[in-house]
Structure formats: structure tokens, C-alpha cells
Structure 1
Amino acid sequence: MTLACRAPISLSRTGARSARHLSLKSSVTIGLRQEDPERVWERRTPLPPAMVAKLIEKEGVRVLVQECERRVFPIDDYIHAGAEIHPTLEPAHVVMGIKETPLKTLVTSPLPSPVVPGRHVPRTHIMFSHTIKGQEYNMQLLSRFLKGGDAFHSGVKCPPGLEARLIDYELLTDENGKRTVMFGFFAGVAGALESLLAMAHKHLQNGVASPFLYIPRPQTVPSLDDIRSQLRGIGSSIAKYGTPKSLGPCIIGVTGQDNGNVTDGVMSILAELPIQRVKVEDLPALASNPDADLSKVYVAHCLPPSYITRTDGSPYERSDYYANPGSYQSHFHSRVAPYLTLFINGAGWAPGFPRLLTTAQLPLATRLAAIGDISCDIGGGIEFVTRATTLSEPTFDVGGVAVMSVDILPASLPRDASMAFSNMAERYVRALVKEYKGERVEDEEALRAIERASVAKDGKLKEGLGWLGDKVNAWRVHARGASVAPMPAVGSRKQRVLILGSGMVAGPTVDELAGRGDIEVVVASNVLGEAQRLVAEHDSAKATQVDMNNHAAVQSLIGQADVVISLLPVPFHPSVAELCIQHKKHLVTASYISPTMKALHDRAVGADVLLLNEIGLDPGIDHCSAHAMLEHLRVTGRTRDILSFVSFCGGLPAPESANVPLGYKFSWNPRGVLRAASESARFLLDGKMRTVPGEMLLKSYFPDVPVAGSENAVRFEGLANRDSMPYVETYRLPKPEEGLQTMLRGTLRYSGFARLMQSFKDLGFLEPTKPVTIDSWPAFTRHALQSLTNSPVPSDEASVLAAVRQHVAPDAFDATWTALRHLGLVPGSESAVIDSPQPPRAPLPPADLLALHLAHALRYLPGERDLVVLAHELVVRAAGGSGADIYTARLVVYGDERASAMARTVGLPVALAARQVLAGRVGARGVCGPTASGADAVWKGVLEGLEERKIGMLEEVRTVRFGMTDVLVKGLEGAA
């Protein structure tokens, strides 16, 4: 279906009423434009047909409408109201839309006055322009409204004082500064509906169906009245039959300004259900009450005094809070979140203010099924809301919680939202019409509001927005040069690399890029001190503080860079990539290609942008080195003879630092390692396709992984790493039916890891959903066992020992009990955890409690070093078919006082790849990894660079009868 405007239709379609207005060439003309076709869900309009008819009748205006089949009101309704269809709106004095006008359709030239013959007047555009916060991607739009804008963009100079006027709805306020034209109420309505449905879907995924499954999606129902009618039916069902008993009472927490538009919208929807309002202080007792009335839905409107205090313990005081936000802390994670079933956030957030909920605190919210973040402050008040979602895909999952963060919620109620919006905007439209007529405007307050909302007028920025001029000028300078040199040449100025993030792997990246002084490096982090330490030794590097929620600041940094490196947490990568596409900047990350990132491929190709991923250690060096081995075989024509590809990689403590339970230490959240212990795996081994369900992974380990050339004193075991089979295509190997007998990618651990982790699993330590409460770490094992067996376990040491003996394998008991005592998780081991932080008061699943404890108990201590081991084995049928040629590649890297082994093997490849991109040697575009077509310079450059830094792969070839597969098969069968 095309969304383009069609040519003006004939009088036979418009009818007599429209024909009357076709003759009013001297009327003040209002143009109603179509929205950007790329905004597929944007169906709203600032002027519904009823308002068009009213303005024509009361003000005698002429109204032109761009035809659009997506708009919620059909074009025939506008024709009936007296409007005319026009493809460009060029005759319109006032052009109205919702979102910013697509640049290719923007008309800013002056036009004849409707009242003074021979005189010209400036045009007026009204929209949500998304320019007033300095949004880099819209500086081109703002440029069109400023002095010299038309000449810069089209070569046609506009007479001074006749530049088009830009009015932003967001700046329309009353005399007290309160906004008067907005969609906030409908954001609240739609957000509540989407949040309730997200909660229902999450509960269904967990095996429980609830009445909320029948909540209508707002865009599927014609009107808000129809939605309310359906909700009342659902509410009647809840009042009669109750909510599912297994879920406990349904408790919804709502944040947002008291009597604010968003909050009013949320509460008006919830009011259609049988709600009972409760206070924050009532939540603990309510959530734990087994006899709670399930025929009610409990709603707590959580205002700041209930969960925010000064850091010194003093109570919340509004004026002091906004003046000194750094002196306050949020207790939402402990006072509110643990008791909620659904959290609907309507509270705004700004950098420097305490967050409602951080990523680390999310596991404390053990009852929480879903979060609806209506405010959608990316990386803001809810730290793990890292991207906006769409009406097509409204949620994403974080730690088992569904997160709804749609940023165009009112668009899902286009009819009701448009009618309400037009009623708010009517007075301002009338005031503008009278201005163009030269008539006295009686509504002087509306005129003053229009002046305050005029971002640009007479070619100048409004008072208070002068700083935007620098951004526009910077864009113009960049635009002038963009057609000549998209990336500055070496020698004209230093090329600039922006590094987003200052975490554990950033040091080697900064050192490599800034060490020679030929590249300017900017390290942007929300922790300024970390960034400053990274750049302290480099004259060509500088640090800056940035919050990823500050879109204007992030866009400004990206716009000034030549290449962007994202070392942020994985969920941030897609939003950074979106900005890189907008600004035509190349991006490099070390992370796996996520489905969200992959979806950006076509747009990136269209923008001639490279989004390079998987260039760290694993993925990264493993891909590069495997590709190098395979390229040798391709050159010699032997790829068809490949029988086996095996790859294992592990990040471990160095042997001298590994004498701890699990033989493992953590420099990040252990939850990922614990979660991986229950993930399924699929691989091909000795001609047999094997699928290992998650519950069997630890029992299906490889007791001996013979890494070629490893030190004699070190023995490794291995676990299959998820699904190995997609790498058959990635590495362009023969398919199983073409002779491939083994394809396996795995994770290395020291011997004993899998059996001890299985013991932890047998004791209930890895249970991810059933919360328990402990008052000390030595009580952990007893409570985990009680939760596992639903039977009491006495608290004395002998009873706990007997219970442990019952649940772990006899030959694993001694090692397990020793580990539990070492970790301080059984009675009598209090001295082992004397410096450990106290366990949280809120109930948590055993897996989350264990992760919190291991992060401290098995942390790296000062002076300890880590180890990275990567090993490939490629088996190729020998000439004549007797025996096989075994190609091996091995990487062994130890950490030192300068950087950990993990930091070097992740941070260096990222930097080396960025250098290849800067040099223009990488022809690949779109979303890809280091071995994609056109990316040869990446994998070659990384391997050569690592070799120069004496951390290259050691390769060997030998002819033997059997390879690693025999050892792995025997070990797997023995372990099973």
C-alpha cells in the first residue's frame, strides 16, 4: 500500500462544499500534512475533520490536506468537512503535523499575504520538532528555519525577516509554565493497557493463564469507550472468580506526578478493574498474605516521599530534592519493587537524580512479571530500559521480566488522542489565523504562548535557545565537507575515535589507539573518574562524562567521531548503532550479533555504514584464527576433506590463583555463569548429532579436553557451548551429509567445575524462581534445601551435613562439603565469610542469592592474575585416505599488572579492527562479523597486530591417526 500523496481529485469527488473553498485564493490557508511514511504506526492528526469544519465555518479559512491512507480519519471525512486535497501544501500559511516534517517535503519559502496584495509573509510550521534539546539528527531541520537556511539547502536566498516560523507543541505553556498541548493522558492509557498485557503474557510463559490475557491492545479497538467496555467485562470476571491463586495478590505499583496527565491516564484505565488502593507501607504484609482477597487488584500510587530519602536518612523534601538530587537515594528496590506484580512507571528522570531501579537491583523484585516504562527514559530511572520498543514488538526481556518501553504510546489511540489534542490546540490555531488576517487577537494569553513556543522566527532562535545556533553551524560545516570527504584524511586532521564505556576491557583499547598519538581518542563514560584514569597517560586522549539517556549529548559525540567503539553493556549496542546509521559513522563492538542488531543490516547498508560486531575474544579472535586456518585449506583445495572442527575457549584464574571452589573467579556478575550451567547445547560429535537439554548439561561434560601444548600441570574439562551447528555455515565447512563428522564449540574450565556445579544444582542452589529469605550466609544451604524438598531442615551443622549427603552423589560429597565450608554456606563456617556483605533482606531465588555471594567470595584479590586459553583443532582427511592431518592453533595469555588477560584479548582486537576501518581498508557494510565478505582486512589485521604484540596464535600441523574427537567421545560417554 502506497502512502504517497495522490494528485488533487476532481470536483465531482469533493462536492459543492469543497468547490466553494477552491475559489478562496485570498483566504488564510491551513495545511494538514501526512506524517513521515517511515513512522508506520503514526496515524494521529492535529486536526480531525470535525475541527476542520469548525475552523472553516468560524474563521473562514481554507484547509488543504495531504492525502494519506494511514491516517485514522478517512480522506472523505475531510472532504465532507470542506477541505481540499493538495499534494504539497505549498499554498498553506500554517502547516500542521504531529512529528517532524520529512526534509524532502518541507516547504519554507514565503508566500503572498492573504490580506495585503503584493506583500509576502513567512510561513508557519507547527509540530513536535525534536530540536529543542539539541537533537543532532534534527539540526538539518532546524537549519531550514534560520537565517541563510534556504540558501544553504537549496541555493534560493530568502528575503530577511521572511524565514519560516517553527512552533513546537512541547513549548506551548500557560503563564505558570505548565504545558497545555500534549498527549500525556493517552500515553498513560495506552501504557497501562500494554503493561497489563505484558504481565499476562509473562505469566502465561511461566505456565499461568490470567484474566488479563483478554486485555485489548489499544490499536486494535476503534475507540477508548470500546476499550473501557471490554475492561469492565474483565473486571467483572476478576470480581467473580479472582486472579490465579498461584500468583498471589495482583499488586500494581504506579509512579508519576500526582494528578499528572500520564498518571491520570493510567489510573483511569485501572479504575475499570475492581481495584483497591493501598499504601506503600502496606505492601510487605499484603504480598505475603496467603489469605489475600484475590477478587481485587491492588494498586499503590508510589510518590517520592514513600521511597526517596536523603542519604543522611532525612525525609524527602521536594524543593531540596530538585536542588540537590545527589544528596538523595532511592529505596524503591527494597520498599516497593519486591512486592509488585506489575510496575508502571510514569515518573520522569534526569541525569544526577537517583534511579528507581538499577540492573543489579532487578533480581530483588522476585514477584515482578512486567515493567511498563511509559516515561521511556533510555538508561534512565530504570537503568535496564536500554531501548525504545515499537507497537509491533512492545516488549523485551530482562532477567525474566517483560519490559514495555514503547515511545509512541498515544499513537495506539489515534482517534481519541487526535480529538483531545485538537481541542487543546484550537485556541492557538485561531490566534495564528487572526494574526495572518491582521485582526486583533482577543486571546492575548494564546499569543504570548505562541511567542514562547516559537523555536525560530524571522530567521533567529528564540531567547534561551541561542545555544542551538552552535549546533546548527556545526552541522552546516559538517554538511559542507561531507560531500567532499566523508572521513577526514590522515594528515588533514587527526581522525577521532569515540569509545563509549570505561569498563574492564577499555584500558588496552585506549592504550592501543592513543599510544601512537596519530588518533584522537575520546572516552565517554557515566563514571568520569574511570574515563580520566584511562586517558591519563595519553596526550591525544580525553575523557568526558555522558549519560546514555542524554540523547543530545550522545548524538553530539557520535556526530564528531569518525569511528565509534561501544564497550557498553550489550543492550545498549542497538541504540548506539541507530545513531551511527543516522550520522553515517562506522561502529565496532566485541559482542555477539543480537537479533535487534541484525535487524539494522539493510538500513546500515543503505547508509553506507559498517556495524562490525564479534571482534573480541570469543567471539572475535576465535573467528579470526579459525578463518585463517580454513583459508589455507581453501587455497590448497582441501576444504571438502574437513572431517572435524573443535574449538574451546575459557577465561580462568591463573593456576596459582585457582585453589578455590569451582576453580573459578569472577570479575563481573556470576549470574551469567550460573545461568549458562542450565542452558541446552547441540553439537555434532563423531558423526552423531547430540542435543543436551539444560538439566543434563553439567552431567554431559567432557572430563578431559587435551589442549595441544598446554602445561602438563594443568588439566581442563569442557562444557558444550549452546548451539554449535550454525558455525558450519559461518565457517563455510562441509555439511554433515558432505562428510563433516564433528562440529563442537565449548567452554574450558578446570577439572572439578562441572561436578561441583552439579552438586550445587542438586542442592537447589541454581533454582531461579522460588524465593527464599536468609538472615546469614551459613543459613543458605539449609534454606535452599528446604525450598527444594518442601521439608524442614534443622539448623545445626550435623543435620545440614546429613541433608547435603542425601542430595549429592556419594563420590562428590567430600569436595562439595569442603566447598560449602570454604564459601561459608553451612553452619560452623561463619569465619569464612567474616568480611562478606550481609545477605539482602528481601526474598530472592537461591540462584540470585548465590550469585550475590560468589561475586564477593570468589573475586580476584590484589596481585592475582587471570588466564585466557583458546584452542582450535581442525581434522582433515590425509591424502590417500590413511590417517588425518591435524591442524591446531592455541592462544595462552596471562594477565599482568597493566591489564587482565581478558581485557587484552577483548580490548586489543576491538582497537586493531577500528584502525583498519579508519584506514579505509574494510569494504564490508551493514551488520557483520570479522570474517564477512569484504572484511578480510579485519581478521588479517587483528591476527597480525596480536602477533606483533606477542600474543599471537601458535599453530601446528601433524599427521596422526586420531584427533581430539576420540578423547571427547570417551570422556562424554564416561561422564554420562
Structure 2
Amino acid sequence: MRNGCPLVGISDITCDIGGSIEFVNQTTLIDSPFFRYDPLDNSYHHDMEGSGLICSAVDILPTEFAREASQHFGDILSQFIRILASSNCIEELPSHLRRACIVHGGALTSLYEYIPRMRKSDLEDVSITSENAHPVKMKYTTLISLSGHLFDQFLINEALDIIEAAGGSFHLVKCQVGQNTNAMSYSELQVGADDKLVLDKIIDSLTSLANPNENHEFKGSKNNAISLKVGRFKESKVEMECDTEKKAFVLILGAGRVCRPAAEFLTSIGSDSSQEWLKSFRTGNLDEQTCVQVIVASFFLKDAEEVVESIPNATAVQLDVMNHGSLYNYISQVDIVISLLPPSCHSIVAGACIQLKKHLVTASYVDDSTSKLDEMAKSSGVTILCEMGLDPGIDHMMAMKMINHAHVRGGRIKSFISYCGGLPSPEAANNPLAYKFSWSPAGAIRAGWNPATYRYHGEVVHVGGEDLYDSAKRLRLADFPAFALECLPNRDSLVYGDLYGIRNEASTIFRGTLRYEGFGSIMGTLARIGFFSTEVIPILDDQKRPTYRTFLLSLLNICKGNLDESTVGEKDITESIVSLGLCKETETAVKTAKTILFLGFHEESEIPKSCQSAFDITCLRMEERLTYSGTEQDMVLLHHEVEVDFPNGLPTENHRATLLECGKTKDGKTTTAMALTVGIPAAIGAMLLLRKKIQTKGILRPIDPEIYVPALDILEAYGLKLLEKMD
């Protein structure tokens, strides 16, 4: 901030977790009243040691602030107590109180009978036990949305009556209740029937409710109008490729890109169409005829349905993990849980898994909050397998295989170097930066601000966050000479010395992030120009919105009168970069100018009001111009180099291991290499737990032979080839 003090903390008493303050995604308790949120890396912590915002979030106001809440609610309620106390029956009450009475005489009043009906539909939907392998569903289903005064005018009662009277069923997928008399409510219902004609009749009746005819009692009443939208009809088909009643259940939380490869892998287990890769692993406690039923849960049902489309033995469900009742309901009825949610959600899921004694797999790093669950998990006999993706994940497994192989033969690790990067495939690297984003650029740009530490030939090297891009080094891999690459140091490499047990023997420990050559110098120059500044820009406060061109000229201190033409060109930008001393080499200045023009910063279009800083503007332009289009594919490249010394004068060995994977397009659908190399290892972790191959309990990483030996074998058998060489 330019003036005043920076924001230190937030206390949210709205009882609206994840609402107006989006990053407040958890409540705090009296015995643990704060947590810390670091916006720079979107991480959550329960200590007060580091940077970030101190957050307190109340969930039950009368309990947390008992005196204030009691006084406030008491003052309001006291106005109605006399009337309620003096009335003999509910009919004597004024209409506003009568309608507000939820329970009378030990039972729900007629206006609120919809509550248990909705709750019952929700409970039925999560019944996925072995005795009842599939959720209770009708043959034909459709998703409908209702909006209007559904609850204050009790139109939801009529809608449910119509569905049940016709012999149909419903499940409440989503519900947003209007918070005042003018606000509309919104509900999504999954409506089903065993006969398509019955479902047609239900939809016709709901349409009549939404569009009342002349005889309808609500004709002309604006408040009683509702809006109805109907999705396409679906016919439920149970596609079981394996002829068996033996089933195992895996719940996948999250329906992002990583989910589908994991679901496809798991549902292929036990099916008649299983590939040859599976045959050598049909041993252990999971019977070879056992099918795996996958339940994909997402906050948005549509996302989960898109993931499971055309995947046999996969079911989509709607689930809000912040709804503890629903979360526990689903977890209690499966064998294994895979969490592909953001890391901030893992502690909630892990706590539920420990309490319900269910194993959990994640692809995320072990953070402080997860580490603290180790003893609880061991006590409950639960395995929480973390870092089971690409990086972290496959990198651990490849490293430990090489290191342990050397140690068994009496060798000592002299040098450990690891490179990993998610890149566009060569044909998709068709822009000056030679990079594209498959997700928000903000996170990737912020990663370039993280300081790094590594050991090189015995010397510990520290790189400040502001120097990271400029520290990029040219790199050529002997096994892939066609790739013009560079690497940037990746955070603290020294922690891997402890993790891999080589701190006291390796004189070089380095982990780097791969990019195509030139990326670091261009990004470093963009940073010095000011494109990544998070400070509010004064020109964006003007009522008249500036254009991208105006913004660019202000960053480069270019006066419009000095331009030969009305548009700013590559020559103008290059000369300005060099004259301002922002770049030492003219070649880099030219590449940076080409990048600026490619991103459209020279255009006369107005900057959207949502942008308040140079960082916001840059992220928006990169998201618009540096995304994968059509069938363009990404590429994952993971490469380890390990130098091993041996006693007794034996020659030094240089071991190399590489994973190179590109995205795949099939039937018009592209699966990214990143999704494959993160989703499949997570699914393999679940498979190993199902087959009782992992016996260790507590918080684990795939650095032990009981995990990485079978996991690497399965990866290769499944088609993710690992190239290993030794000199």
C-alpha cells in the first residue's frame, strides 16, 4: 500500500464461509480462534509465524458472541412474544407470524413439510453401499431449475407435490434462498421417472405452474411467478463391463481436468476390456474379478457429469465439501477417497477420512496442517498418501528408485539434479514467449517471485524472488538435443536432501523448472518494466477508462508526440526498453517487444473495470492470448540426473531417467499431459491401497519401496514410458 498500514487481519461474523470474503473458507473455534492466509501463494496456516492475513471466522454467532447476539435477537423477538404467548392455536396468529411458524404441536406446519422431503431425497442419493451399489435413480432423469419466490410464497411445495403425485422422484442439487422480500430464490432439482411419458407429464405440469393459465389461482400475481428451465432428458444405463457382483468404491472429490484420467484408470480395473498392463498385478487381497465403481463429486453437478460421460461404472454427484453432513455421508460408504480439490480443502477431507477410517490419496504437497494429522491417522489405522501426482509424485518415485539402487550397491550420491516442466508441445509453442497457460496465469507468475535455494559443488546458492527469472540457465538434454530449454531454480532444493536421505553425501542438490529458452529473460524484462506490479495504477481510477495503449505508453515513459505513427510499434518499444536500462541485450529487448505486441498492449481497446493494477491487466491479456486452442497439446518433461561415486576406485556412474509425455486427443476430446501425469499416479495410489499393497499408516509420500516400486511398474505398463540410461 502506498499510504497507511497494510491489512493485518479480518474478522468475519457473517457466518457465510466462502461467501463475500472468498478466501475465508473455514471457521475458527474458541480454542483455535485464528488461521493465517498467505495470498501470495494461496496457502493456509494455523501458526502465526509467517506473512499473510490473520483471519477469524464465526460460524454460530450466538455461541461465539453470546452476550451481544442474545441482546440483539432478544430485542427483536420480544416484540412478538406477547402475541405468541396469548394465542391458543396457530390460526389465531396474525398472518406474518402464522407463516413464520415452522413447527406447531410437535409437527412441521403444512408450509414447511417440504423440508424433510428434500432431506430424504438427499439421503437417498448418497446410498452407495455394497448392498445397494448404485444410487436410487429412475430410468429417465432431467435437471430442472426453478427461480422465483419459491419459499416465501411456498411455491416449492407445489412443485414437489406435482413430482410426487405423478410417481416421480427428485433430488435437490442446488439451492440459493433469497435474503429479503424482493430477492428471488433459485433451486436445481434432478427429476426422475421410470417412464418417459410420466417425466413428460411432470415437466408439463411444472410448466403450467410457471406459466399459469386463466383458471390458475395465482394468475396476475407478480410475486407468485416462477421461471422454469428444463435440461435434456437422460436415460440411465448401467454399463458394467465385468460380470461380477464384487465391487469396490472410490470417491473422487473434484471434477477438474485431472479427474477423468484417474476415473478411466480405476474403472478399467476388473473389466473384461482391461489391457494387458493389469494382468501382472492381479494379485493381493483385491480379487481379480472386483470392479471399481467411481463416484465423482463436484460442487457443480454439471462438471462431474461431463467427467463421467461415456465412462462405464462412473457416477456423478453434487457435493459441497463444506457441508460436513454430506461429506461424511459419501466418505462413509466408499473404500478409498481421492481428493483433487485445492490444497486448502485437504485438511477437512483428511479429518473426515481419519474419523471414518477411510484411506485418502492426494496429489498435493504435505503442508503443516496435514503433517499434524500423522499421529491421528496412525491411531485410526488410516493411510493418507500425499504427493501422488507428477511433481510432487513421479519425481519422488524416479528419484528414490535411482538413489536406493545406488545405495544398495554401496554407492554414494555425489550429485542429484532434477528438472520438471509443463510446456506447450513444440507445435503449440507458437508465440514469442513459447509458453501457454492451461489455468490462471496469476499462479504461474507468482511462482516466479518465489526465492530459491540449492547446493552446487558444495556451495549453497540463494536466489531472491526478484532475481529468479534472470537466473534462468540455458539447458540441453543429451537424450533430447532438439529441445532448446532453460531452467529456473525451484524453491528450496535442500529440503530434498533430507527427504531423499542424501544431504550429507551430495555436493550438488538442485531442482529446476523447465521452460523453452528465452522465457526467463523476457519475463524478467517484463517484470522490470512494471507489468507485474500489484500496486493500484492512478490512471485506472479515472472515470474514463484508459486503453491498453495508454497503459503501455505510461509504463515505457513514451510520449505520444514522439511517435512517428499513431500506433506504437516494435521499434518504439525496443528503443524505450534499452534507453531505460531495463534490458542489457538488444536481442532480449526485441523479443520482449514482440511479446508485448503479441499480448495486445498496443491496442486501443479499453481496459476492463475489473483491472486495478498492472498485474491484473497482464494476467488478463495472458489469459486471453496464451491459452491452448482447438486440439493443441501440452507436454510434460521430467528429467533426473544422478552422479554416483563408489569406493575402492570403481568408476563414477551417471544415471539419467526421463519421462516425456504429450497430451492426447481422442474422439474430439483432448486430455492434457499434465492431467495424465497427475491423475494416473493418484489413481494408482488408490489401486495400491485397495489391493492392500501399502501397509504403512499415517501421512505418507511415495518415497518408500512399497509404494514406488509397484507404482512405477504400473505407470510403465499403462503406457507412461520412463527412459533410463547410464554412462
TM-score by length of 2: 0.68
Give 2:359's aligned residue: 586
Give 1:909's aligned residue: 681
- CA 1:372 to 1:839, structure 2 compared with 1: closer, same or farther past 3 Å? farther
> In structure 1, what residue type is equivalent to 2:628?
Y
How many residues are aligned here? 553
SS for the counterpart of 1:715 is strand
For 1:477 and 1:883, the matched residues in 2 are separated by 59
For 1:840 and 1:919, the matched residues in 2 are separated by 53
Give 1:229's aligned residue: none
- CA 1:477 to 1:564, structure 2 compared with 1: closer, same or farther past 3 Å? closer
- CA 1:455 to 1:648, structure 2 compared with 1: closer, same or farther past 3 Å? farther
Tell me the alpha carbon deviations over residues 480-520 of structure 1, each in whole angstroms, 9 at most, x when there is no partner.
Answer: 99xxxxxxxx9764111111111111121111011244111
For 1:611 and 1:422, the matched residues in 2 are separated by 47
| Deviation of the 1:470 alpha carbon | 9.2
- CA 1:389 to 1:882, structure 2 compared with 1: closer, same or farther past 3 Å? same
CA RMSD of aligned residues (A): 3.9
Tell me the alpha carbon deviations over residues 383-411 of structure 1, each in whole angstroms, 9 at most, x when there is no partner.
Answer: 44332234535243253573542435655
> In structure 2, what residue type is equivalent to 1:374?
I
| Deviation of the 1:716 alpha carbon | 1.3
> In structure 2, what residue type is equivalent to 1:848?
D
| Deviation of the 1:928 alpha carbon | 2.3
For 1:605 and 1:697, the matched residues in 2 are separated by 40
* Counterpart selection for 2:28 from 389, 400, 411: 389
**Native 8 Å contact 1:760 1:766 kept in 2:** yes
- CA 1:801 to 1:689, structure 2 compared with 1: closer, same or farther past 3 Å? closer
SS for the counterpart of 2:726 is strand
For 1:701 and 1:905, the matched residues in 2 are separated by 25
**Native 8 Å contact 2:33 2:56 kept in 1:** no
SS for the counterpart of 2:376 is helix
* Counterpart selection for 1:685 from 440, 444, 456: 456
Give 1:941's aligned residue: 710
1:815 maps onto 2:591 in alignment: yes
| Deviation of the 1:414 alpha carbon | 5.7
Give 1:223's aligned residue: none
| Deviation of the 1:531 alpha carbon | 2.1
Q: Percent identity?
A: 34
Q: Which sits farther off after the overlay, 549-558 or 897-906?
A: 549-558
Give 1:501's aligned residue: 254
For 2:608 and 2:106, the matched residues in 1 are separated by 50
- CA 1:951 to 1:419, structure 2 compared with 1: closer, same or farther past 3 Å? same
Q: Which sits farther off after the overlay, 939-948 or 410-419?
A: 410-419
1:886 maps onto 2:657 in alignment: no
Give 2:546's aligned residue: 775
| Deviation of the 1:445 alpha carbon | 8.3
| Deviation of the 1:468 alpha carbon | 6.4
For 2:449 and 2:487, the matched residues in 1 are separated by 14
For 2:497 and 2:345, the matched residues in 1 are separated by 29
- CA 1:475 to 1:722, structure 2 compared with 1: closer, same or farther past 3 Å? closer
* Counterpart selection for 2:665 from 897, 901, 907: 897
Give 2:522's aligned residue: 756
For 2:458 and 2:255, the matched residues in 1 are separated by 45
For 1:644 and 1:904, the matched residues in 2 are separated by 29
**Native 8 Å contact 1:591 1:616 kept in 2:** yes
Tell me the alpha carbon deviations over residues 667-696 of structure 1, each in whole angstroms, 9 at most, x when there is no partner.
Answer: 101111211212100110111011111112
**Native 8 Å contact 2:16 2:59 kept in 1:** no
**Native 8 Å contact 1:528 1:545 kept in 2:** yes
- CA 1:792 to 1:405, structure 2 compared with 1: closer, same or farther past 3 Å? farther
SS for the counterpart of 2:665 is coil
Question: Any residues of structure 2 matched to 1:537-552 within 5 Å, and which?
Answer: 537-552=310-325
For 2:439 and 2:106, the matched residues in 1 are separated by 46
| Deviation of the 1:647 alpha carbon | 0.6
**Native 8 Å contact 2:406 2:644 kept in 1:** no
Give 2:381's aligned residue: 608
SS for the counterpart of 1:496 is strand
For 1:398 and 1:729, the matched residues in 2 are separated by 26
| Deviation of the 1:456 alpha carbon | 10
- CA 1:425 to 1:854, structure 2 compared with 1: closer, same or farther past 3 Å? closer
**Native 8 Å contact 2:489 2:511 kept in 1:** yes
**Native 8 Å contact 2:128 2:334 kept in 1:** no
1:954 maps onto 2:723 in alignment: yes
For 1:921 and 1:893, the matched residues in 2 are separated by 27
Higher-RCO chain (CA-CA 8 Å, sequence separation at least 6): 2
For 1:890 and 1:612, the matched residues in 2 are separated by 24
Give 1:924's aligned residue: 696
Give 1:150's aligned residue: none
Give 1:153's aligned residue: none
Tell me the alpha carbon deviations over residues 754-802 of structure 1, each in whole angstroms, 9 at most, x when there is no partner.
Answer: 111111011111212343526333334223346xxxx977684276554
* Counterpart selection for 2:103 from 452, 465, 468: 452
1:515 maps onto 2:287 in alignment: no
1:715 maps onto 2:715 in alignment: no
**Native 8 Å contact 1:379 1:549 kept in 2:** no
Give 2:220's aligned residue: none
For 2:129 and 2:436, the matched residues in 1 are separated by 48
Tell me the alpha carbon deviations over residues 836-877 of structure 1, each in whole angstroms, 9 at most, x when there is no partner.
Answer: x96321452212221111011011111211111101111111
* Counterpart selection for 2:609 from 838, 841, 846: 841
SS for the counterpart of 1:897 is strand
**Native 8 Å contact 2:635 2:674 kept in 1:** yes
For 2:106 and 2:553, the matched residues in 1 are separated by 65
Give 1:407's aligned residue: 59
For 1:675 and 1:468, the matched residues in 2 are separated by 43
| Deviation of the 1:560 alpha carbon | 2.0
Gaps of 5+ in 1: 1-205, 207-244, 249-340, 342-367, 427-440, 482-489, 831-836, 959-976
Gaps of 5+ in 2: 41-51, 79-84, 91-97, 133-242, 272-290
For 1:753 and 1:393, the matched residues in 2 are separated by 44
**Native 8 Å contact 1:395 1:405 kept in 2:** no
**Native 8 Å contact 1:613 1:928 kept in 2:** yes
For 2:661 and 2:126, the matched residues in 1 are separated by 45
Question: Any residues of structure 2 matched to 1:434-453 within 5 Å, and which?
Answer: 452=103
For 1:855 and 1:665, the matched residues in 2 are separated by 9
Question: Any residues of structure 2 matched to 1:304-383 within 5 Å, and which?
Answer: 372-380=11-19, 382-383=21-22
TM-score by length of 1: 0.51
For 2:346 and 2:309, the matched residues in 1 are separated by 26
> In structure 2, what residue type is equivalent to 1:676?
A
| Deviation of the 1:549 alpha carbon | 4.2
| Deviation of the 1:548 alpha carbon | 3.6
- CA 1:416 to 1:808, structure 2 compared with 1: closer, same or farther past 3 Å? same
* Counterpart selection for 1:531 from 304, 311, 322: 304
| Deviation of the 1:422 alpha carbon | 9.9
1:663 maps onto 2:434 in alignment: yes
- CA 1:384 to 1:716, structure 2 compared with 1: closer, same or farther past 3 Å? same
* Counterpart selection for 1:824 from 600, 619, 627: 600
Please state which structure has a larger fraction of its residues in strand: 2
- CA 1:943 to 1:416, structure 2 compared with 1: closer, same or farther past 3 Å? same
For 1:924 and 1:759, the matched residues in 2 are separated by 49
- CA 1:823 to 1:603, structure 2 compared with 1: closer, same or farther past 3 Å? same
* Counterpart selection for 1:766 from 495, 520, 532: 532
- CA 1:606 to 1:862, structure 2 compared with 1: closer, same or farther past 3 Å? same
SS for the counterpart of 1:663 is coil
- CA 1:387 to 1:464, structure 2 compared with 1: closer, same or farther past 3 Å? closer
- CA 1:901 to 1:467, structure 2 compared with 1: closer, same or farther past 3 Å? closer
**Native 8 Å contact 2:410 2:646 kept in 1:** no
Please state which structure has a larger fraction of its residues in helix: 1
SS for the counterpart of 1:661 is coil
- CA 1:673 to 1:471, structure 2 compared with 1: closer, same or farther past 3 Å? closer
